[in-house]
Structure 1
Amino acid sequence: MTRWRFAQGVAALAAVLLLVALWAGAPEAPEAPIEALPIADVVSERLTTLGSVVGLAGSGDSHAWLGIPFAAPPAGELRWRPPRRPEPWTDTFDALAYGSPCVQLASGFGGVSDQDPGSFAGDEDCLYLNIWSPRFDAAEVPTGDDRMPVMVWIHGGGNTIGYAGSFYEGSLLATRHRVVVVSVNYRLGALGWLAHPALLAGAEEGEPKSGNFGTLDLIAALGWVGENIEFFGGDPDSVTIFGESAGGKNVLSLLASPMAAGLFHRAIVQSGAVDTVSLASAVNYTDEEPPGDSFSAKEVVLRLLIRDGSASDRASARFFAEGLEDSEIAAYLRRKTAEEILSAYRDEPDSADIRPPRVIRDGVVLPHRRLLDLFAEPGAFRGVPIILGSNRDEIKLFLSQDPAWVSRSLGVVTRVRDGARYNFVSGMHSDLWKVWGVDEPAAALSRSQEAGVYAYRFDWDEEPVRMGTDLGMLLGAAHGLEIPFVFGHFRFGDEATAKLIFDEADEPGRRFISDAMMSYWAEFAYAGTPGRGRSGGLPEWSAWGSDVGQFLVFDTAADGGIRMSTDTLSTQGLLARLEGDTNLDQTEKCELYRDLFEGSADWNQATYSGLGDRGCPPESLNTARSD
């Protein structure tokens, strides 16, 4: 299992549950009724710096403003350019519906789910945000010290799928804890991260010469929040950014970016990561020095030239490309349809996935140094209070689709083949996720910044058994499962999917965990420390120490409840666990070591060669340190 597949994130869960539903004979969701057009609530009208907007009455006692443009459409000549300020409007803008998702391949659960998986979806005109707040008449909007903390959500999806849609509806979080919730779209895939020199050469004066367009979109959205959120009752000097999976990775990138400094004041990272890519790896040919990635900007141009018949093979494509001026390459790329661009990133022509991009350390949006190294140095970045967390069974989301680990009947998931091996391997992968995404960055940050560092692990795993399929075993506390707990609703995509994964028996426990997470998240947005939650009645969430790491566990009372733990992890500890395991034979141990560490900074050839009883063979390996 390669590390880049992990980044596909929560999109995979819908497929698993659909297969279970089909096998179990679960009833299909009823055909959706025709929805009435949304009606504007006149008392929600607000005057922004770009013009007047009107929203609608949201769930509960809330107002919602949906689909507000925070940047000009990045299409045509604005494709692969930093986001530009949108044109102001004179009439009142009806903020009544979500904006279009950014260009992506359709997928379930957080992505574009109303099309066939893998089909082209979304639009380049997609830079919109949504706002939820407690309901106030226009004359009653809080001002001054009464303004509310702001929580800006960044969706996940491997930076290739997902959008700020109804899955992340923020009305309950806003009304229960008196905060303003914002969710934002940003460019995805190659339209969001592509650093071809020909594109950067065309940057206009004053524009950052960076291929991190998706990151720049997020910075622009935070700039819009800083200018306008007070008109909705929010405090621009109390902004918390939070995100999951790739959204969490983007939160960490914003923490490291000098261009984002001062635009937010607290950060929450849910199942994130610190991996980025060097400029050389993102740009160069694979046979250049230093070598580029197989999906680097220059390599993708060669793919496009071969696909459209301009060249017959890689050698002729490179000869052709190197004979073009920068302006000609840029024009060639902008003439391509978005679908053609995305298709160049498929491993296989009919694949439903594309290779996810990584944020680029270009010395402009991000420093050239790796994030973990940066976070370890005092003064190298602008530190803010931060929460980092992961889910205990992150990787079960991905193993649950692998026929090597689950049995199928008529192509449908039925049960785990070998529970002990499944739990061991998923535990190794999930714990390594915690090491890389929580424990190591928490340790570095706690030593380098004065602001508090807090950590958690999400353990809820009380899914039901459906016709012999134990979802608690299959998925457990899987990747992405904490999201509905944070937003306070349990609408996992469509109604049928939600009914599969949650039932009445587990409702008291999950409501307890959800209420606690919302309370801690809101208290952190208010105070910069989660403390005992907004209610003051929860267990004290203590900071990660500079000498001793500790984190909060989220679980029901039946499994130990909400509690602090010092059970921190390290790569050395995981290696010792692998060495001592009796579930795997020697070949399987070697395969697991490769799956865990190949291509990473933690790869050790000597450890691999001496692993287990007789070591591992020197097979063809990609052991170069991931940059």
Structure 2
Amino acid sequence: MRRFLASVVCLLVAACGERDDASTEPVADPATTTATAQGQLTGYVSPEGAHVWHAIPYAAPPVGDLRWRAPRPAGSWTGNRDALTRAERCSQITNSLDQGRGVEAGLRVGSEDCLYLDVFAPPGAVDLPVMVWIHGGSNVWGSIEAYDGSQLAIDQNVIIIMVQYRLGPLGWFAHPALREDAETAEDGAADFAILDLIAALRWTRENAHAFGGNPGRVTIFGESAGGHNVAALLASPLAAGLFDRAIIQSGSIASVPLAEAEGRIGEAANPSLTIAERLVGADASADDLRAVDLDDLFAAYETGGGFRLTMPTMIADGVVLPLDGLRSAFASEETFNAVPVITGTNRDEMKLFNALDPRLASRHLGVFYRPRDRGFYDALSDYQSRVWAIGAVDDLATIMREGGHEDVWAYRFDWDEGGSNVFIDTGFMLGAAHAMEIPFVFNRFELFGQLDRFLFNDRNAESREALARTMGQHWGNFARTGHPGADWPRWGERGQRMRFDTEEDGGPEVVRGAETMESIAERLSGDQRLTPEERCQVAATLGDRFFGEGGGIAEMIGCG
């Protein structure tokens, strides 16, 4: 189960968002010309009216001798640089969702030269809050080309910056030879992707004003793996002072010990010492590793199924993250970057993944999904999603609060009004699935490719657009003031959280009640939707590392 979930999580939203129609090629607009610390550049004006700049380098290309080193400063340029086209995505393995772009699944694509960012700003921007978006994709896949910050920038009068970072084994790799070859203290890390994000935040502090942003009001926000990376930035001493608020959307606070990432303890899949031996032998030097062909490196991780790349990510390396692990950092305001935090999940997180699992759902004509057992599908997704919420919200918010940090807000996203026909009922098969909140945050209903036109239809347009405005306003308030709004109370002893849904379904509203693994076990043990055997099947999935501290539920309900 662990290997399956590690694989299927690659089907996160990051690359689902390829737009159906080829966009008109942008034209440089002199009104967007600005001067950064590196040089002058010109962007374009989006159809929404936002000023947009693409592919701005925030660090030197991490290639050659800079592979598996901390990012170095980006170079400057002379003359004017046109910032009109998006950068190539970071090296990764394509999956079935890339087929919509005409790219075969299971290929190694992208470039090591990928440390670029995009900026979206309302016209006439002066001293505005800055929001830095970190994309998802299980930290092995995805890019910023799936997202567009134009509408959010216009609606909330903020600057949106979207960042690419090293993925997969280029972003997370722990090996003693690399530490011995370190030229700086940061080179001795294993979480190179988090160092990329830190470099992007340093660039933002230096250059936000060039786009009308206030470098003293920076909010980091990200979804799924992006939310996991937001948590890492909160915990990293190297990121201190680089941001002022943080939003974790469907994230995680799991991490792997350095020794386990290397393969000296534990059972991590594809630990780095094993990978190095496969590639260059047991006595690998840093030069040997950096000379490895990129295709050979990715192939060493046993990719398969068109999208799988199994490896440790989020490593407690003692440089970027504390050796005690990511979760431990939040126990005291003294041990993490204690800025105001929003953390939340979607009610039906796991339905996105379960809909893609052939053991749970059948696929018709290569497109349409139906549950093999409707009751079991619904119950399994429910419990898995509840456990996700415990790790990402209830546990995290409670740890912070008990450690003295009160500026924590929580939410749950419940929108499940997608379209249905004789082939698929998206309201049931997906519901408020993983990633479903992203179009509402950005007020841009383009994320799931061909499914968008069906999922977001004329019948639900008015209500979902109203919900998008509400969510955008809360995110914008938080970026401006560090507080999402008077109607949204902080997390407290009663587990208060904002439930985002349409008015027809009773939202938005504040709901109360926190869950624990014990309360999940009690609920599961008496669930009449399931047979005793099915309850044990569900419980077995809740102990997977993917869900954090999920072990023990099977024992609690009497399963062997």
> How would you bin the TM-score normalised by the shorter chain?
over 0.9
Counterpart of 1:335 (choices 279, 287, 291) is: 291
Query: In structure 2, what is the Cα distance between the partners aligned to 1:544 and 1:594?
Result: 30
Question: Is 2:44 the partner of 1:56?
Answer: yes
Pick closer, same or farther for the CA change 1:240–1:3 going to 2, 3 Å.
Answer: farther
> Does the aligned pair in 1 maintain the 2:16–2:448 contact within 8 Å?
no
1:245 matched to which residue of 2? 224
Tell me the SS of whatever aligns to 2:410.
strand
Deviations, residues 124-182 of structure 1 (Å, cap 9, x unaligned): 1100001111113xxxx52xxxx1000000000000111111x3211111111110000
Question: Is 2:523 the partner of 1:567?
Answer: no
What are the within-5 Å matches in structure 2 for residues 141-152 of structure 1? 142=126, 147-152=127-132
1:344 matched to which residue of 2? 300
Q: How far has the Cα of 1:584 moved from its partner?
A: 2.6
Pick closer, same or farther for the CA change 1:450–1:488 going to 2, 3 Å.
Answer: same
Q: How far has the Cα of 1:72 moved from its partner?
A: 0.7
Q: How far has the Cα of 1:447 moved from its partner?
A: 2.4
1:5 matched to which residue of 2? 5
Tell me the SS of whatever aligns to 1:132.
strand
> Does the aligned pair in 1 maintain the 2:94–2:306 contact within 8 Å?
no
Question: Is 2:272 the partner of 1:297?
Answer: yes
**Relative to structure 2, which stretch is displaced further, 496-505 or 73-82?**
496-505
Query: In structure 2, what is the Cα distance between the partners aligned to 1:270 and 1:14?
Result: 13
Q: How far has the Cα of 1:109 moved from its partner?
A: 6.0
2:459 matched to which residue of 1? 505
Q: How far has the Cα of 1:292 moved from its partner?
A: 5.8
Q: How far has the Cα of 1:78 moved from its partner?
A: 1.1
Counterpart of 1:281 (choices 260, 269, 284) is: 260
Deviations, residues 461-509 of structure 1 (Å, cap 9, x unaligned): 0111133411111100000111111111111254x33112211101111
What are the within-5 Å matches in structure 2 for residues 2-151 of structure 1? 2=2, 5=5, 8-9=8-9, 11=11, 32=21, 37-107=25-95, 113-136=101-124, 142=126, 147-151=127-131
1:311 matched to which residue of 2? none
Question: Is 2:522 the partner of 1:542?
Answer: no
Pick closer, same or farther for the CA change 1:597–1:12 going to 2, 3 Å.
Answer: same
Deviations, residues 187-224 of structure 1 (Å, cap 9, x unaligned): 00000000111122111145441011100000000000
Query: In structure 1, what is the Cα distance between the partners aligned to 2:17 and 2:334?
Result: 46
> Does the aligned pair in 1 maintain the 2:133–2:162 contact within 8 Å?
yes
Query: In structure 1, what is the Cα distance between the partners aligned to 2:364 and 2:186?
Result: 56
Deviations, residues 347-374 of structure 1 (Å, cap 9, x unaligned): 54x5421115321111111111233332
Consecutive unaligned residues of structure 1, counting only runs of 5 or more, are 19-28, 306-319, 533-539, 617-627
Question: Is 2:557 the partner of 1:603?
Answer: no
Decide which structure has the larger Cα Rg and report it.
Answer: 1
Query: In structure 1, what is the Cα distance between the partners aligned to 2:267 and 2:383?
Result: 30
Query: In structure 2, what is the Cα distance between the partners aligned to 1:434 and 1:134?
Result: 34
Deviations, residues 501-521 of structure 1 (Å, cap 9, x unaligned): 211101111101111111000
> Does the aligned pair in 1 maintain the 2:271–2:312 contact within 8 Å?
no
**Relative to structure 2, which stretch is displaced further, 514-523 or 168-177?**
168-177
Question: Is 2:152 the partner of 1:189?
Answer: no
Pick closer, same or farther for the CA change 1:519–1:251 going to 2, 3 Å.
Answer: same
With normalisation by structure 1, the TM-score equals 0.84
Query: In structure 1, what is the Cα distance between the partners aligned to 2:406 and 2:113?
Result: 38
Tell me the number of residue pairs that the alignment of Structure 1 and Structure 2 aligns. 558
Query: In structure 2, what is the Cα distance between the partners aligned to 1:161 and 1:455?
Result: 27
Question: Is 2:469 the partner of 1:515?
Answer: yes
1:591 matched to which residue of 2? 537
> Does the aligned pair in 1 maintain the 2:542–2:550 contact within 8 Å?
no
> Does the aligned pair in 2 maintain the 1:439–1:569 contact within 8 Å?
yes
> Does the aligned pair in 2 maintain the 1:549–1:568 contact within 8 Å?
yes
What are the within-5 Å matches in structure 2 for residues 267-278 of structure 1? 267-278=246-257
Query: In structure 2, what is the Cα distance between the partners aligned to 1:426 and 1:384?
Result: 33
Q: Identity over the aligned pairs, expressed in percent?
A: 40
Deviations, residues 312-368 of structure 1 (Å, cap 9, x unaligned): xxxxxxxx51xx3xxx532222222222211222354x5421115321111111111
Pick closer, same or farther for the CA change 1:385–1:244 going to 2, 3 Å.
Answer: same
Query: In structure 1, what is the Cα distance between the partners aligned to 2:237 and 2:12?
Result: 34
Deviations, residues 503-550 of structure 1 (Å, cap 9, x unaligned): 110111110111111100000000100015xxxxxxx011101x2211
Tell me the SS of whatever aligns to 1:379.
helix
Query: In structure 1, what is the Cα distance between the partners aligned to 2:409 and 2:103?
Result: 39
2:523 matched to which residue of 1? 577
Query: In structure 2, what is the Cα distance between the partners aligned to 1:337 and 1:563?
Result: 53
Question: Is 2:320 the partner of 1:379?
Answer: no
Q: How far has the Cα of 1:235 moved from its partner?
A: 0.5
